[in-house]
Amino acid sequence: MSEPILAVRGLHTAIRTPSGPLEILRGVDLEVDRGETLAVVGESGSGKSFTALSIAGLLPAGAEVTSGQVLLEGRDLVALREPERRTVRGAEVGMVYQDPMTSLNPMMRIGRQVTEGLQAHGWSKDAARDRAVTVLGEVGLPSPQALMRLYPHQLSGGMRQRVLIACAIAPRPKVLIADEPTTALDVTIQQQIIQLVARLRDEYGIAVVWITHDLGVVARIADRVAVVYAGRVTELARTRSLFATPHHPYTDGLLRSLPTPGDPHQAPLPQIGGSPVALSALPPGCPFAPRCAHRQDRCDTEEPPLIDRAGSRAACWVPREDWHAPSAGVTGRA
């Protein structure tokens, strides 16, 4: 296996609160290969967005990476000084954001919003303009030449998201991080965007990190999945394996709560009992333990690292075969 193009090792990120620093990411480990799509899944508050921002170096004021590495082709981005980091941002690591309505500057023409990202990395004005027209066409927008002169409010939500994608891939980055890019769009557009990103990934050979909370999307686009809970990766597996045989009770719970066509009509969906853990009040040991059906004594005292389990890695002391009830995996999708 070739060296992963992007590897995150032991990433800790904390935010400054009035009562002291609060750790959001408590040691995240991920990797993505060239041309591969990694889905990062979790609930709101699990830390998946922060992971994306930490990788891109776009943390808001008051948040910073406290330790760990973000290796892009072996180069640690965290250790770079800001001016150097800036050359990487955009040119080598592109990012697409969740809300296309607010992520574009309402007072700047579309064309400029694409070309400025190129000119910031040394492209000449003419080359940038040509590239902008090309890439707007590549993301499937009609009449790119005319579109350059339009303003965001003149486009629909789906078109704006395509523009954002165009901005991100225009400088031909090596990695594209997509932070829930389809959450704010309706289902048909969602499908189009997913297909677009897949196509671009294949054409350009970029690595895609796709943040989402929607397992359906994961099934459609991801090669590998990282499940995030309470600021750590709890399971890392190939998509098919994850859906078929989850090795972490949290993943299992997530899968069970998905509605399937065979479910009885209007029957309540199974839920994971309890509520998501508060990062400021973490119990010792495994953070999922209070809600876990398969908990053992060791889970309450020691937090498990990622353990190899038949090709996947899961942060759980209890192997599948020792779970109390047999897990039903989900078959038939991918």
Partner 1 sequence: MTPPTPRGGVRFRTGAVALTATVTVAAGLAACSPSGSQNSSSGGSTFVVARTGDIDKLDPHLATAFQTQQTLGLVYSTLVKTSPTGQIQPDLATKWTTSSDGKTLDFTLRSGVTWQDGSPFTSKDVKASIERILDQKTGAVSRSNLVAIKKVDAPDDTSVVLHLSQPSASLLYSLTTVNSSIESAKDISAGTVGKKPNGTGAFAWNAWNPGQQVVLTGNAKYFGGAPKIKKLEFRVIPDESSILSGMKASAFQLGLISDPGVARQAGKADAYSLVKQPALAYHVLMLNGRKGPLKNQQVRQAISCAVDRNQVMQTAAYGDGTVTGPITSPAFAYSPTDGLPCTPGDTAKAKSMLAAAGYAQGFSLTTIVETGEYATAGAEAQNLQSQLAKIGVKLTLKQLSTGPYVSAWLDADYDAAVALNGGSYDPFLMYGRYFTSGGSLAKPAGLNSSTLADLLTQGNATSDDGKRQGTFRNLQKELLTESPWVWTFRSDDYYLVGSNVHGFTPRPDELLSSLTATS
Partner 2 sequence: MLNWRWLGARALGALITLLGVTVVVFVVLRTIPGDAITASLGIESGTLTPAQRASLEHFYGIDRPWFAQLWAWISGVAHGDLGLSLTNGKSVTSLVASSLPVTVELAVLSALIGTAFGVVLGVLAGSRPGRASDSLTQGASLVGLAIPEFVLGTAVVTILAEAFHYFPDTGTFVPLTRSVSGNMSQILYPSLVLAVAFAANVMRTTRSEYVEMADADYVRTARGKGLSPGRVRRSHILRNATIPIVTLTGIQFGYLLGGTVIIEQIFALPGMGRLLFTAISNRDYPVVQGTVLVIAVLFVLVNLLVDLLYRMIDPRTRAS
Nearest approach in angstroms of CB 57 to partner 2 is 9
Residue 56: phi and psi, rounded to 5, are -75, -15
Task: Take residue 24 and report the two structure tokens written for it.
Answer: 């959001």
Binding mask 162-201 for partner 2 (x = CB under 8 A): --x--xx---------------------------------
Give the C-alpha separation, 40 to 11, whole Å. Answer: 15
Residue 95 within binding range of partner 2, rule CB under 8 A: yes
**CA R_g for the chain:** 21
Task: Take residue 144 and report the two structure tokens written for it.
Answer: 């790119």
Residues 124-163 binding partner 1 (CB under 8 A) are none
Q: Which does 88 bind (CB under 5 to 8 A by kind): partner 2, partner 1, none?
A: partner 2
Residue 64 or 214 with smaller CB distance to partner 1: 64
Q: How many CB atoms lie within 10 A of CB 217?
A: 21
Nearest approach in angstroms of CB 153 to partner 2 is 5
Give the C-alpha separation, 157 to 144, whole Å. Answer: 17
Residue 278 within binding range of partner 2, rule CB under 8 A: no
Residue 86 within binding range of partner 2, rule CB under 8 A: yes
3-state secondary structure of 251: helix
DSSP 264: P
Residue 103 or 327 with smaller CB distance to partner 2: 103
Binding mask 39-58 for partner 1 (x = CB under 8 A): ------------------x-
Alpha carbon dihedral 165, 169, 173, 175, in 10-degree steps, equals 30
Nearest approach in angstroms of CB 80 to partner 1 is 8
Q: Residue from 65, 118, 184, 289 that binds partner 1 (CB under 8 A)? A: 65
Q: How many CB atoms lie within 10 A of CB 121?
A: 16
Residues linked to residue 41 through DSSP beta bridges, in sequence order? 212, 227
Stretch of residues binding partner 1 (CB under 8 A), selected from 75-83, 114-122, 186-194, 256-264: 75-83
Residue 171 within binding range of partner 1, rule CB under 8 A: no
Q: What is the DSSP annotation of 128-182?
A: HHHHHHHHHHHTT-SSHHHHTT--GGGS-HHHHHHHHHHHHHTT--SEEEEESTT
Residue 120 within binding range of partner 2, rule CB under 8 A: yes
- Tell me which residues touch partner 2 (CB under 8 A): 56, 58, 60, 86-91, 94-95, 97, 99, 102-108, 116-117, 120-121, 151, 153-154, 164, 167-168
- Tell me which residues touch partner 1 (CB under 8 A): 57, 59, 61, 64-67, 78, 81-82, 85
